[in-house]
């Protein structure tokens, strides 16, 4: 079966998310990824819940940020998750985004260096090393994961960088186990991303195929095509109006982005989002999402795979079990 994963954010209760994780596991999905982006739901509690009620599906953060958790606590958190679900946990980590980070007091200066230091120290701690590191962002002196009772062996927790910009993408190719490619991008964006990943991989003596490349994909599927497109249109309107890094990567014209931005404040109200939805035409919705009939949705996912992604991480709008059923035998 082609690799396929489920993405959950905050549209469902935690109890429903647990049931969806079990359902996706039963249908052959490889992983369930939990979002942490807006100020709504952290990733760690849902990941623990999903891990506790499943047996073999992987559980990933998609993605936490590298600014708000002390590096020692971050390592201890993923050690704990690995205790709950050994060899099933993935740490997806990204550089967050403004204006949200700035509004909570985070100065995202030198994001590449900050991420590089985070990945290095986190990886060494999860390898159960005693770590001394004095960088610009992390300062630790002779620390280690102090396991007295339990498993003391190095932990198999792959680190995936959630990269959107090409400088971060290149660094992911150099230092990460994988990259979590963003959603709301045109598949053509992936061509540039693959070049950046390959350039980074060469710096480390690796090949691009050594780097896993799952991709978040907005998946709005319904037998009522108009309803499917409208669900995705609403999501696009909100995110393109509020997240500059996605605006830049989406491939959407600047004129349309400017129109949307004039209508939306931050955070946008429901009324503002619905008032701006009409600005986003069907072809733009289908350019950046997998939306429409089941056949249209599968065809769009194939485009992302053909452009370099190794596994779609499907973010269901509408009925998630319908989407899981449709993709339970892959996307061929």
Task: Answer whether residue 104 shows pLDDT above 90.
Answer: yes
The answer to whether the Cα torsion of 202, 205, 210, 214 is positive or negative is negative
Average pLDDT (9-37) is: 97
How far are the Cα atoms of 182, 222, 229 from residue 318, in angstroms, in the given order?
20, 8, 11
Beta pairing, strands 131-134 & 139-143: antiparallel
Distance CA 64, CA 81 (A): 14
With CA atoms as reference, report the closest residue to 316 among 241, 252, 237, 228: 228
| Per-residue confidence (pLDDT) for residue 249, from 0 to 100 | 86
pLDDT at 126 over 90: yes
| 324 burial level (CB within 10 Å; 0-12, 13-18, 19+) | buried
Q: What pLDDT band is residue 244 in, cutting at 50, 70 and 90?
A: low
Q: In sequence order, what are the residues at sequence separation of 6 or more whose Cβ sits closer than 8 angstroms to the Cβ of residue 16?
A: none
Residue 259 clears pLDDT 90, i.e. is over it: no
Is residue 257 reached through a cis peptide bond, with omega within 30 degrees of 0 on the bond before it? no
Cβ–Cβ < 8 Å for 233, 277 = yes
Query: Any bridge partners for residue 234, and if so which?
Result: none
Q: What is the mean pLDDT of residues 110-122?
A: 98
Q: Is the pTM of this model over 0.85?
A: yes
As a whole number, mean pLDDT of residues 44-53 equals: 98
Q: Confidence band (pLDDT; 50, 70, 90) for 239?
A: confident
- pLDDT band with cut points at 50, 70 and 90 for residue 266: confident
Give the tokens for residue 52.
């506790």
Identify the pLDDT of residue 238.
87
For the stretch 155-207, pLDDT in tens is: 999 999 999 999 999 999 999 999 999 999 999 999 999 999 999 999 999 99
Q: Average of pLDDT values for 39-58?
A: 97
Q: Is the pLDDT of residue 95 over 60?
A: yes
Q: Is the pLDDT confidence value at 1 over 60?
A: no
Structure tokens at 10: 């905050």
Q: What is the pLDDT of residue 263?
A: 86
Name the percent of the chain lying above pLDDT 90: 85
Residue 24 near residue 16 (C-beta atoms within 8 A): no
């Amino acid at each position: 079966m082609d690799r396929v994963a489920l993405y959950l954010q905050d549209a469902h209760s935690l109890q429903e998310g647990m049931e969806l994780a079990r359902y996706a596991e039963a249908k052959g999905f490889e992983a369930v990824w939990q979002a942490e982006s807006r100020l709504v739901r952290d990733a760690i509690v849902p990941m623990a819940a999903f891990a506790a009620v499943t047996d073999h599906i992987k559980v990933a953060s998609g993605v936490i940020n590298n600014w708000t958790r002390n590096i020692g606590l971050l390592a201890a958190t993923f050690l704990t998750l690995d205790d709950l679900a050994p060899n099933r946990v993935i740490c997806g980590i990204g550089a967050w985004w403004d204006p949200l980070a700035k509004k909570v007091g985070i100065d995202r200066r030198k994001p590449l260096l900050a991420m590089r230091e985070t990945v290095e120290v986190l990886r060494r701690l999860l390898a159960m090393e005693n770590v001394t590191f004095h960088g610009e962002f992390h300062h630790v002196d002779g620390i280690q994961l102090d396991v007295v009772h339990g498993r003391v062996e190095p932990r198999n927790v792959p680190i995936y960088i959630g990269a959107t910009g090409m400088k971060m993408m290149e660094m992911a190719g150099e230092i990460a186990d994988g990259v979590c490619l963003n959603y709301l991008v045109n598949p053509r964006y992936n061509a540039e991303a693959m070049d950046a990943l390959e350039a980074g991989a060469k710096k480390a003596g690796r090949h691009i195929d050594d780097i896993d490349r799952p991709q978040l994909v907005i998946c709005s599927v319904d037998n009522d095509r108009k309803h499917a497109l409208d669900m995705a249109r609403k999501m696009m309107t909100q995110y393109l109006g509020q997240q500059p890094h996605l605006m830049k990567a989406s491939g959407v014209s600047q004129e349309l982005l400017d129109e949307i931005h004039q209508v939306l404040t931050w955070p946008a109200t429901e009324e503002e989002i619905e008032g701006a939805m009409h600005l986003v035409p069907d072809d733009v919705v289908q350019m950046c999402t997998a939306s429409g009939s089941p056949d249209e949705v599968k065809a769009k996912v194939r485009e992302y795979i053909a452009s370099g992604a190794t596994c779609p991480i499907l973010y269901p709008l509408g009925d998630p079990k319908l989407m899981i059923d449709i993709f339970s035998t892959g996307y061929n």
